[in-house]
Structure 1
Amino acid sequence: MGKRSRPRLGALASHWSTGRRVAFLAAVLAVLLAGAGFAAYVTTGGGRGAAPADEPSASGPSARPGTSVPASGTPTGTVSPPPRLSDPLAYGRAAAVMLWSYDTRATSRDQQLAGMHAWMTTETKYTDWTSIQAQVPDPLLWSRMHDQAQYATATVSASRFPSAFKQALAEAPAALTEAYIYAVTVTGKQTIAWKDGGGGAEDRSVTLAVQCRPSADCALVAIAPNTAP
């Protein structure tokens, strides 16, 4: 088995207590019924392995970035642009690939943030940019990853509506028309490589809040905790 890289983008785990799962369901219902806000949380986890001696020693972003919004028109390096999709499951798959992919060889941290921000909904009453930009390592760690020519690619195996979201819709089927926000759980794999042949792969899972209004393309709202299957 190949070595695994500790500094990575978008490593999420599903270690959530019953109380947090209930809180997430309440948040989904709040969005559906009241149309205001979406509770988004981020966890980090997954397999841990020994990094090469010259690799940055960190298990993920070493500090949460601030809540600044990238300036409009900022070049986005290798970050893929948002697709024009109306299906929340398809958009969730594309967004997960975007979140789990990066290339520090050709993309600056500011470019990474700008590219990710282009995927966000413009409806500020719902968007949670903090939960998305928290996936990007701080400037020092990004610089160390760049020194190691680190990059990651991703593949998706499945996307689905989690049971908590489906339960919320079953209880109030007409409420979705307020915000048109869908919870989408995506699973897949992230493959990481760096110079001198280093690399590895880990399974990934993330639950995203995706907005898909009938008259507009889908957009990313937030990263949410994983919910019950």
Structure 2
Amino acid sequence: MPEPNTRTASGGAFSTVRRRVLLGVAGLVALTALAGLLLFLARPGDSSAPPEAARPRTTARPSEGPATRQPHTQHRAPFPAPPRTDDPVVFAEAAAEVLWSYDTRARTHREHLAGLREWMTDEKEYADWESVSAQVPDPALWSRMRANHQRATAEVLEAHFPQAFEEALADDPGAITSAYVYAVTVTGRQAITWTDSGAGAEPRAVTLAVQCRPERQCALAGVVPRVSP
């Protein structure tokens, strides 16, 4: 595949990451390639932010008026489609924006998850859907948010390959060819609004696993448990 975005250094070595996990943590055996990546990047000391930084941030404010009030439904704009790119950084930026954005007025919980699934790799051995769906509020919270017309927009500020990933590639540049899964850390800002002019904003950060095989478009493989610098 072409050289990654010039805003970053060279891509990470997926197989090397797996090997380091196996050598460095006693008792870990038979790890899948994706599990090896996630465990390596989630090691204590690799994160510049606590685990909570990658969790969904939502605000379910009490509804005004009778409890039987039903929220209105906005026009149903198409769920954002994955970008057609072979650059893992470009794809990760778009994926982070989608993960941090939602509109409970326009989509149900199930519809939102269905839209996110379209971003996932179709290679089951590398797809960690649970780590992605965990970024979305559960159905009960989504329902409360919907009652308050809660929605969020996101702005991506920066994206790069984590230092640990770059070091792995330096050790074995050819190892990425096993799965072509890259780790990309994205930082940005999320703005949340709800009924009665309520609003709030906060910084966000996440490390994503993105698969970009040669001659194919990139796809999301998973969300790393901790943000890796």
Q: What's the TM-score, normalizing by structure 1?
A: 0.72
CA contact (8 A) 1:157 1:187 kept: yes
Aligned letter for 1:167? E
Aligned letter for 2:150? Q
The Cα offsets for residues 26-69 of structure 1, whole Å up to 9 and x where unpaired, read as 986118999933234793249xx9x68616xxxxxxxxxxxxxx
> Structure 2: where are the runs of 5+ without partners?
1-12, 22-29, 43-49, 64-75
RMSD over aligned Cα, in angstroms? 2.9
Question: Which residue does the alignment assign to 2:192?
Answer: 192
CA contact (8 A) 2:86 2:212 kept: yes
| Aligned ranges 1:10-159 → 2 under 5 Å | 29-30=17-18, 36-39=32-35, 40=38, 43-45=51-53, 54=62, 78-159=78-159
CA contact (8 A) 1:188 1:205 kept: yes
CA contact (8 A) 2:158 2:186 kept: yes
> Structure 1: where are the runs of 5+ without partners?
1-24, 56-75
**Cα–Cα, structure 1 residues 197 and 165, in superposed 2: closer, same or farther, change >3 Å?**
same
**Cα–Cα, structure 1 residues 178 and 142, in superposed 2: closer, same or farther, change >3 Å?**
same
Q: CA deviation at 1:194?
A: 0.2
Matched residues, number: 181
The Cα offsets for residues 129-167 of structure 1, whole Å up to 9 and x where unpaired, read as 000001111111111000000000001010000000001
Q: CA deviation at 1:120?
A: 0.3
- Aligned counterparts of 1:27 and 1:136: Cα–Cα separation in 2: 29
- Aligned counterparts of 1:80 and 1:28: Cα–Cα separation in 2: 34
Q: Percent identity?
A: 48
**Cα–Cα, structure 1 residues 77 and 111, in superposed 2: closer, same or farther, change >3 Å?**
farther
Question: Which residue does the alignment assign to 1:208?
Answer: 208
Question: Which residue does the alignment assign to 2:161?
Answer: 161
Question: Which residue does the alignment assign to 1:170?
Answer: 170
The Cα offsets for residues 166-215 of structure 1, whole Å up to 9 and x where unpaired, read as 01111110000111110000000000000100011000000000000111
Q: Displaced runs of 4+ in structure 1, greater than 6 A?
A: 25-28, 31-35
Q: CA deviation at 1:79?
A: 2.8
